[in-house]
Chains A and B, each alone.
Chain A
Amino acid sequence: MDVVVENVSQVFVGRHGTSVVALDRFSHRFGSHRFTCLLGPSGCGKSTLIQIVGGLELATSGTVRIVDPDRPDASRRLGADSVMMWQSLNLFPWRNVIDNVAFGLEMRGVARAVRYEKARALVASVGLRGFESHLPGQLSGGMRQRVALARALIMERAILLMDEPFAALDAQTKIVMQEELLRIFDVTHKTVLFVTHSIEEAILLGDEVVVMTARPGRIKEIIAVDLPRPRSVEMVNSKQFGTLFDRVFHLIRDEVMKTMEQQAAAVGA
């Protein structure tokens, strides 16, 4: 599935009638089976963009289309081909692991035995066998992350939308989860839109890195990442990685400075 974003703008109107342009005429075609990272300073509208793509927010203007490259004329409903993984995870605290993972199937009316069988297999595949009846509140941060990942994967959607899913993790757990995600991507080849503010993470995971400007969010530059797959975290030390990192870093540095100036101005005013 390609995600075709055309001229999408998002304007938030504040209480006092002041409006903030979060996204400004954003256009990009996210290719099928490609891992695209959206990288930018906080407040550049990258999370807003993937929520619009997921059909969870309405854009002020512009269009998003989900296109099957084999049947380019068929129109598809936004949200029907994608599933979201959130920074705050949004696990249901009253549901145990298996019932969290099986939530989507339950909503679809899949019989209990069938959805449990599927959920159990996925729980095992993300390394949580034996924790099926634990509540989210009884798990560590990394384990919760895996539950959220399994809950998204069970939907078997072609597009995976990830909103800084690993931002809150400690450094070691983050590396483990990144490797897990790389492994899953190599097997499933979903179309992934991955929001992050970590340059390293964007290069390590992505086929391309869309660098965004500070508010209003526009595309500053698109960097193709030609590191071979399967990838591993050791690649971070390669010369190729270092070159890419420097390039992206210089692009993003100006934008982060701009954001800080904007914030300073806002505080001053």
Chain B
Amino acid sequence: MQGKRNFIAKAAETVLPAASIVLFLLAWEIFVREGEIAPIYLPAPSSIAVYLYRMIADGSMLSNLGITLLRIFVGFLLAAVSGVLLGVLMGMSRILARVADVWIAALYPLPKISLIPLLIIWLGTGEAYKIVISAVTAFFPVVISTYAGIQRADRGLIKAAKDLGANARQIQLKVVIPSAVPSIFAGLQLGMGVTIILVVAAEMIGGSSEGGMGYLLINAGQVMETEKVFASLIVLAVMGALIIKLQQWADRKLAPWASLDNDR
């Protein structure tokens, strides 16, 4: 009896998430058809699928996706390198930490989107502006998490390393920085999330004709091609989910110890 109930619960756990999506799409399709809703307001899932297929077939989806991915990658890389570097240096130098802390405290809460007008004045609406706005935004969570990780390094491990003959430099490199890795990875995940948001937002603002998913979205919206809007949204959602999953997978590969129970 108990076994049977467990089996049903397990089956429900695996089937229901997928079934909920299918049911939702089905309800949507029926709602649009039966209600005779105009496609500019809400297209049926089936026609969105047709548009999605066409956009993939004519290459417009992939080229715009590629451009967006490239911007995300460059923006994220800039933020990751500079953020981790500054965070580690702050952990090593109290003076630098004090100085940087003031700037971070002042600039972190500022909504980075509000910098867009200024950046457009300085950099125009080209590549530089899109990469800078996303890198600046992602920089903060990375530097804050890195510094926090360095500060929270286990005193016991530092003492043990000292006892085993490590000098100050070795303690930094071999103990403090490795022990900050889980926190750094958490910061990089947050950073990746905001990079994606800011790149797409920057592509939408500025009215440039340099492509990208944001451009595709705003363009389709302006001419009321709602099917294209939905198709682009689907691709963006899948892209975001894949990037985050990929990053989580890479984190587990690079630091398998971080997910183990180390204080048993």
Do residues B261 and A137 form an inter-chain contact, with CB atoms below 8 A?
yes
- Chain B residues near A92 (CB-CB < 8 A): 157, 161, 174-175, 178
Q: Give CA–CA (A107, B174) in the complex, Å.
A: 9
Chain A interface residue count, CB cutoff 8 Å, equals 25
- Chain B residues near A138 (CB-CB < 8 A): 260
- Counted as pairs of residues, one from A and one from B, with CB atoms less than 8 Å apart, the total is 66
Q: Give CA–CA (A141, B161) in the complex, Å.
A: 21
Which of A90, A94, A135, A144 contacts B159 (CB under 8 A)?
A90
**A86-106 contacts to B (CB < 8 Å):** 86, 88, 90, 92-94, 103-104, 106
- Chain B residues near A90 (CB-CB < 8 A): 154, 156-157, 159-160
Query: A136 at interface (Cβ–Cβ under 8 A)?
Result: yes
Do residues B260 and A93 form an inter-chain contact, with CB atoms below 8 A?
yes
Query: A165 at interface (Cβ–Cβ under 8 A)?
Result: no
Query: B256 at interface (Cβ–Cβ under 8 A)?
Result: yes
Do residues B164 and A107 form an inter-chain contact, with CB atoms below 8 A?
yes
- Chain A residues near B253 (CB-CB < 8 A): none
The range of chain B's interface size is 20 to 34
Most chain B CB within a 10 A radius of its CB, from A88, A93, A151: A93
Query: B170 at interface (Cβ–Cβ under 8 A)?
Result: yes
**A149-196 contacts to B (CB < 8 Å):** 151, 155
Closest-CB distance, A132 to chain B (whole angstroms): 15
- Chain B residues near A106 (CB-CB < 8 A): 174
Do residues B159 and A108 form an inter-chain contact, with CB atoms below 8 A?
no
**B105-162 contacts to A (CB < 8 Å):** 154, 156-157, 159-162
- Chain A residues near B20 (CB-CB < 8 A): none
Seen from chain A, the residues whose Cβ lies within 8 Å of a Cβ on chain B are: 54, 56, 79, 83-84, 86, 88, 90, 92-94, 103-104, 106-108, 135-138, 140-141, 144, 151, 155
Q: List 9 A-B contacts (CB under 8 A).
A: A56-B163, A90-B159, A92-B174, A92-B178, A103-B166, A106-B174, A135-B260, A137-B257, A138-B260
